[in-house]
A and B are shown apart, each in its own frame.
Chain A
Amino acid sequence: MALRLWASSTANALRVSSSRTHLSPALSLSRCFSSVLDGLKYASSHEWVKHEGSVATIGITDHAQDHLGEVVFVELPEPGGSVAATKGFGAVESVKATSDINSPISGEVIEVNTKLTESPGLINSSPYEDGWMIKIKPSSPAELKSLMGAKEYTKFCEEEDASH
C-alpha cells in the first residue's frame, strides 16, 4: 500500500462500514480483529507473501482491506512483467480512494488473478485466498528474510492502530 504519501481532495464525514473476515481455525486473531495467517510473510505496507517452492503468491492483508473499505477496482500488471521489492506493481481502488500496491519481494510475474477484474470484492471477502493478486517467480528469495512473520505483523498492526 502507498503509505508514505496520501492524498485527499474531498471533505466528507461518511462512515465506511468495516467488514469482518470469516475466521477459520488456522487463522490467528489479532486484537484489532483483522486476521493474520501463520505461514505467510508480511510487509510493513500490508502485503502478504506465500512462498511455495519456486512460486510466491502476493496479496494485501485483511488489515489493509478492512481499512480501505469496499474494493471496486484492481489494477494489476501483465504476466511476463517484473516487480521489485518495495516498489508499486498495481493499485486497488476502494469507494473513496486508490492505493498503490507494493511488492514485498522482487521477481517475474507468472500469473495474475483475472477473477479480480469481475469480482474485486474478493479482496474484501477472501484477502488471503480467492483475493490473491499475483504469482511471481522470486529473483531474490533472500528478500523474504526481511519481511515479518505472523506474530510480528500482528504486533505491528496493533501498534499502528494504537498510535492513531
Chain B
Amino acid sequence: MTIPQARQLGRRPLMNLVKFKGTPILQQLHLEERLLRNSSDNWCIINDGTNTPAIVMGLSGKSSELVEIRSVLRDQIPVIRRFTGGGTVIVDHGTIFVTFICNKEAVPTVQPYPRSIMHWSSLLYNEARNHKEFLCGMKDYLPRSAFINKTVEAIENHFLTKPVNVDIDAVTSCTDYMHTTKLLSEQELEEACARGPSGEIPVSNLMI
C-alpha cells in the first residue's frame, strides 16, 4: 500500500479544485486520465457544461451495440470511449460534470468500490441539494450556478480545497502520454456499423 502524497491540515485532506466552463468532454477526460495515472494528489474537477453534445461510452463500450451509428454519422455527433467503466451517457451544454480523483485514505470511511463511493457521493450531493430525491428536475429547485457553489461548499466540509488553474490545452496537447480515452473516427464507426452487434462483417460486404 502506498503512502498518500496529499498533505493534511487538521483533519481534512487537501483537494485540488479545478473549475471549467464549457470545456470539451474529450479534453476533460484526457486530463482526468493523466491525473489518475500520474498524480498522487486528490483532485476535484467541475465542468459547467461541455461545448458540444457527445456520446460517451464506458471502457468496453461497443458502438454497434450502444449507438445509432447511422444517425450519429449523419448528425456528426462525437462518440467517445472513456478510460473509466460504466454505462453510456449523452452529454451537452446542460450537463454539470463533477469528478473526484482521490487516494484511498482521503475518505477513510469509503472503500474503493462502486457501492461505497456512490453512497458517499450521494450524501455529498444531498448536502448540496438539500433534497431527498436525487433523480428530479434540478432546474426546478436550484439554478446551475447555485448547485455548483453548494457542491463546492459541501466538498469543503470534507476537504481543504485549493483552487488550481489548469491550462487544459497545454496539458492535453502533450504527446508524452498515451490516452485510453479516445474519440472514435468516422471510419471506425462505419466499420462498426458494417459489422453490426455480432461483430462479423456480413457476407454481402466482403470483397471476394
Contact = CB atoms under 8 A, between A and B. Distances in A.
A93 B118 contact: no
B101 A93 contact: no
A148 interface: no
A126 interface: no
Contact-size category for B:
35 or more
Given A4-B103, A5-B102, A97 B114 contact: yes
Contacts of A69: 113-115
B148 to A, nearest CB: 13
Nearest to B114: A96
B138 to A, nearest CB: 11
A95 interface: yes
A52 interface: no
Contacts, number: 119
Contact-size category for A:
35 or more
Interface in B62-110: 83-87, 97-104, 108-110
A101 to B, nearest CB: 13
Contacts of A13: 118-119, 122, 134
Contacts of B2: 4
Interface centre among B40, B108, B115 (most CB of A within 10 A): B115
Contacts of A3: 1, 104, 112
Interface centre among A5, A67, A160 (most CB of B within 10 A): A5
B125 interface: yes
A98 B83 contact: yes
A6 B115 contact: no
A6 B102 contact: yes
Contact of A5 (B36, B108, B116, B122): B36
A14 interface: yes
Contact of A98 (B85, B98, B124): B85
Given A13-B118, A160-B111, A97 B104 contact: no
Given A12-B134, A67-B111, A96 B118 contact: yes
A2 B1 CA distance: 10
A147 B111 CA distance: 21
Contacts of B99: 7-9
B161 to A, nearest CB: 17
A54 interface: no
Nearest to B116: A164
A12 B114 CA distance: 10
Given A5-B36, A98-B58, 8 more contacts: A5-B104, A7-B32, A8-B118, A10-B118, A13-B122, A93-B59, A99-B85, A164-B109
